[in-house]
Structure 1
Amino acid sequence: MPAQGLVNKVMGLLMSSRMRQIENFIKNPIETQENILFKNLSIARNTEYGDLYGFKSIGTYEDFKSNLPLVKYEDFEPFIEKARKGEKDVSWKGKIKWFAKSSGTTNAKSKFIPISQESLDECHYAAGKMMFAIYLNNHPDTEIFKNKNLRLGGSSEIYQKYDTLFGDLSAILIDNLPFYAELRNTPNKQISLMSEWETKMKAISNAVITEDIGCLTGVPSWMLVLLNNVLTETGKGKLDEVWPMLEVFFHGGISFKPYEENYRNLTHKKLNFYELYNASEGFFGIQDRSDSKDMLLLLDNGIFYEFIPMEEIDSDNPKVIALEDVEIGKNYAIVITTNGGLWRYIIGDTVKFTSKDPFRIIVSGRTKHYINAFGEELIIENAEEALKRTCAKTGAIIKEFTAAPIYMEGNAKGAHEWIIEFEKMPESIDGFAQLLDETLQELNSDYEAKRYKNITLNPLKLNVAKPNLFFDWMKSRGKLGGQNKVPRLANSREFIDPLLEMNKS
């Protein structure tokens, strides 16, 4: 048997339990979710949170809904602060040692998400193994296990606070990886945990150029900066001239749509792309088919899911449904109960189901990252799809973007204002703007209605960003790194106005 066949056979045996786990929750989704819920309730029944909300008396899902409130980070923060100060048995059994610091969108404050040992082992690490198991199952002739995985996390300094620790999730995961897993990753832990982003990028470039890289794992925007650095440092035109065995990019954190064309242009040969839906709060989904970009919802990694129809999200008492009651194509805010001690927590993401057998989803946006200043309800999914189609028709390539409303003043009508940094400019900026506006109307009937004969909204206004504007802006805010994301849409001008000001200088 060839060496690669032997390697894959061994890896297949090691990962067979993960494939059986996946097959089981696909076959028994509702039972699996009920088991997760009551396992979590049992573990936390004697905690402060468990006593407060009567975990011991909960016997059904309806009891669970009746006893526990929906919470956002602000609501749950007092319990997190107690746990961060070292108190035991706050919302999860025992003491939580690690807290993932997330820049988030909660009133511009940092969030500290509890990471229990169970969430490390049964959620984040287990999902990572599922990711490789799925890839091997889909690509039995893969050679990635012969080569190394180039990982790119965010700013990774670990901070001591009280007698607990907080830092980026990437740092926590890397710091707790077993030694045998560390052997297949690059750069090494010392470089990966460097905190100063620009210094780290140079160190990573120097470290990985001579490695045999088979796969990439990271956030598309920051990985693209690294890969372009590698090409500059090596003087090569394409990545497969540097790494001939490169075959797949596992990406997550932000939508891949604005970056896909950039990545396809980085290699001569076809590169596989697999999307992940992971966050500080948990690892929720994995693309399980190479020919479809929706993701399998992970139902057996310690997370119990509920869903709020988006039309209910601003209600004082929103309707909440369990997995079995979701509808295909409908936009839902996702609610999670986790084995890290989050209970009925509104994460802020929105999803749509593409299938119920098995349960597959796409991430459609954020509950707060949208533009609805005029009843147009423009979500990130609309914006990214419109940009993708417009770029395909014009030959443009986009590096970064954000958009916000132009509010009505006096008799003036409203509009949407965009600022876009192009990797490749279209022949006509005015033509690009007009086509983008028309495409948004095709994708969003509410936007189309508001744009009808310019009754409510004027055509969008497009500003071209100077090179590296978004990078410089993120740097000025201390937000460089994989855990930090350029806000794509905002219902206010808090992001676009500083960008426009910087663009003048």
Structure 2
Amino acid sequence: MALLNSLFTWIMKKRIHQIELFMKYPHDVQDEWFQSLISAAEATEWGKMHGYNSIYTVEEFKNRVPIQDYDDIKGYVDRMIKGEQNILWPSDIKWFAKSSGTTSDRSKFIPVSIEALEECHYQGGKDMLSIYCHNQPDNKLFSGKTVVIGGSSQINNFSPDSYYGDLSSILIRNLPFWAEFKRTPNIEVTLNPNFEEKIEQIAQITIKENVTSLAGVPTWNIVMANRILDITGKDNLLEVWPNLEFYGHGGVSFKPYREQFKKLIPSDNMYYLENYNASEGYFGIQDQSDSEDLLLMLDYGVYYEFLPTENLQEAHPKTLALHEVELGKNYALIISTNAGLWRYKIGDTIKFTSIAPYRFQISGRTKQYINTFGEELIVDNAEMALQEACRQTDASIRDYTAGPVYFKEKGVGAHEWIIEFEKSPSNFNRFCELLDQKLREVNSDYDAKRYKNMALNSPIIHEVAKDTFYNWMKSRGKLGGQNKVPRLANNREFIDSILEQLK
């Protein structure tokens, strides 16, 4: 096993040189990918419609192709699902990543080409391991196995030759043999569509394995970890897996879960790396252990544009190229990819923390915010405020969501929060005050609306019992995979649904 571990580590570290090259020459790399994508799609239906054969500059591309969202491409995707090809992308597309999004129950089916699988998603997974091996040269990662909690995948109802499932299930279904060799449990268990049954099976199987790493969304890994501790009677995961050393996570912000993982894995040597991997592509990896910033991955078959969030509502907003972005500003991410997504607005917002190289933080969602009263509260604001309130009251949070309380006649509005604590605040009233105070500090629009309670009263905060969010997600059929608790909403859909369940 020591020899095998050394071999895998050596292979993974070879990629670092290529990562350093795109960090050094980011604009050249992006220009090359732009030309490559346009050239590849010239003969597709979409490429012919927009004259890709005569597009030579990014400005020509912007002038001919409007910014898209899912509703704009849904008709094309429906045809691809039914078996038509060469529509958005030249290679045959048989896989579709099912995503319900975070503010709508409607399912989206994102096309996943073989190029997107190999050049983007799998390359991202390998690069995260490469970065870890580079940062931790004495690791023993490959001497054991990785626990992965996948979603489910099934043949769809439109064509026997096309398939859908959440992204994790598609990736697991198509993994190369060497990756399957290092993963646990087996594929049948990992893709079991019954989430609760799957968690039980994973727990029973993996407690007998030498597990050195974990991968996946923090929410569902915590569910698995708690079940394993219930079964074994152990106090923490290191008593079950003494060689556990690495967790590659993504899907949701890690901030609300950090303290829980410190308790589950009480070791200063445990190494955490975040990735930014969505159904639409793999975009970023945390490459420095002492910073939460993500390195923008520039050679995955994705061409990036950045739309300033203040221009989101414009009819024809102007996007910026990579060399035009500024530090600290919020941008909606616009992508063109090797799966045939063209100038596609994926719904996430980011802000750059460095431009040499390009590093960023995920700041929120274009549709996951509260702006009922002009306060423009985004997830990034909420995470910062919750973290500070928890720090000062010795609390930790499992899950939360928030929405507006609307004006009533002579009354004013407010924000209503539902919070499930892992550890309750030492002083709940103080927690509420600190949350409001920090929100006012980090968001001037919120602060203006809170001034003398003119437009917004103090937030209304409900502390709910453990497993409230788990039971709510279960009632909606949203357990496991990439399903996430919606953090902020500009309406009361989620707040009212949870409160109704608590009656």
Same fold (TM over 0.5): yes
Assess, with a 3 A threshold, how the Cα gap between structure 1 residues 302 and 322 changes in structure 2: closer, same or farther. same
- Once the two structures are superposed, what CA deviation does each residue of 1:328-380 show, in whole Å capped at 9, x if it has no partner? 10000000001011000000000000000110010000000011111111100
Give the conservation status (yes or no) of the 8 Å contact 1:157–1:193: no
4+ long deviations beyond 3 Å: 6-9, 155-161
Shift of residue 160, structure 1, vs aligned partner: 5.5
2: CA distance, partners of 1:245 / 1:13: 20
Shift of residue 426, structure 1, vs aligned partner: 1.6
Alignment partner for residue 192 of structure 2, among 194, 198, 205? 194
1: CA distance, partners of 2:138 / 2:104: 48
Residue 221 (1) aligns with residue 246 (2): no
- Once the two structures are superposed, what CA deviation does each residue of 1:212-238 show, in whole Å capped at 9, x if it has no partner? 111110001111110111111110001
Shift of residue 108, structure 1, vs aligned partner: 2.4
Q: Secondary structure at the match of 2:318?
A: coil
Structure 1 gaps of 5+ residues are none
Equivalent position of 2:265 in the other structure: 267
Equivalent position of 1:414 in the other structure: 413
Q: Secondary structure at the match of 2:78?
A: helix
2: CA distance, partners of 1:199 / 1:176: 23
Match for 1:100: what amino acid? Answer: A
Give the conservation status (yes or no) of the 8 Å contact 1:258–1:398: yes
- Once the two structures are superposed, what CA deviation does each residue of 1:399-429 show, in whole Å capped at 9, x if it has no partner? 1110001111111011100011111112332
Residue 327 (1) aligns with residue 329 (2): no
Match for 2:163: what amino acid? Answer: L
Give the conservation status (yes or no) of the 8 Å contact 2:212–2:244: yes
Q: Secondary structure at the match of 1:149?
A: strand
CA RMSD between the two structures? 1.3
Match for 2:70: what amino acid? Answer: Y
- Once the two structures are superposed, what CA deviation does each residue of 1:43-77 show, in whole Å capped at 9, x if it has no partner? 11100000111100100111111111100000011
Equivalent position of 1:125 in the other structure: 122
Equivalent position of 1:437 in the other structure: 436
Give the conservation status (yes or no) of the 8 Å contact 2:189–2:202: yes
Aligned pairs for 1:395-406 (under 5 A) are: 395-406=394-405
Aligned pairs for 1:176-195 (under 5 A) are: 176-195=174-193
Equivalent position of 1:315 in the other structure: 314
Q: Secondary structure at the match of 1:64?
A: helix
Equivalent position of 2:56 in the other structure: 59
Give the conservation status (yes or no) of the 8 Å contact 1:466–1:503: no
Equivalent position of 1:93 in the other structure: 90
Give the conservation status (yes or no) of the 8 Å contact 1:150–1:208: yes
- Once the two structures are superposed, what CA deviation does each residue of 1:304-342 show, in whole Å capped at 9, x if it has no partner? 100100000111111211111000100000000010110
Match for 1:27: what amino acid? Answer: K
Assess, with a 3 A threshold, how the Cα gap between structure 1 residues 290 and 140 changes in structure 2: closer, same or farther. same
Please say which of residues 33-42 and 295-304 is displaced more in the overlay. 33-42
Aligned pairs for 1:79-118 (under 5 A) are: 79-105=76-102, 107-118=104-115
Give the conservation status (yes or no) of the 8 Å contact 2:399–2:421: yes
1: CA distance, partners of 2:167 / 2:146: 18
2: CA distance, partners of 1:156 / 1:93: 24
2: CA distance, partners of 1:147 / 1:396: 34
2: CA distance, partners of 1:13 / 1:62: 42
Alignment partner for residue 131 of structure 2, among 129, 134, 140? 134
Equivalent position of 1:356 in the other structure: 355
Please say which of residues 328-337 and 165-174 is displaced more in the overlay. 165-174
Identity across matched positions, percent: 52
Equivalent position of 2:304 in the other structure: 305
Match for 2:375: what amino acid? Answer: E
Equivalent position of 1:390 in the other structure: 389
Q: Secondary structure at the match of 2:295?
A: strand
Q: Secondary structure at the match of 1:37?
A: helix
Give the conservation status (yes or no) of the 8 Å contact 1:40–1:339: yes
- Once the two structures are superposed, what CA deviation does each residue of 1:405-460 show, in whole Å capped at 9, x if it has no partner? 11111110111000111111123322211111111111111111111111211100
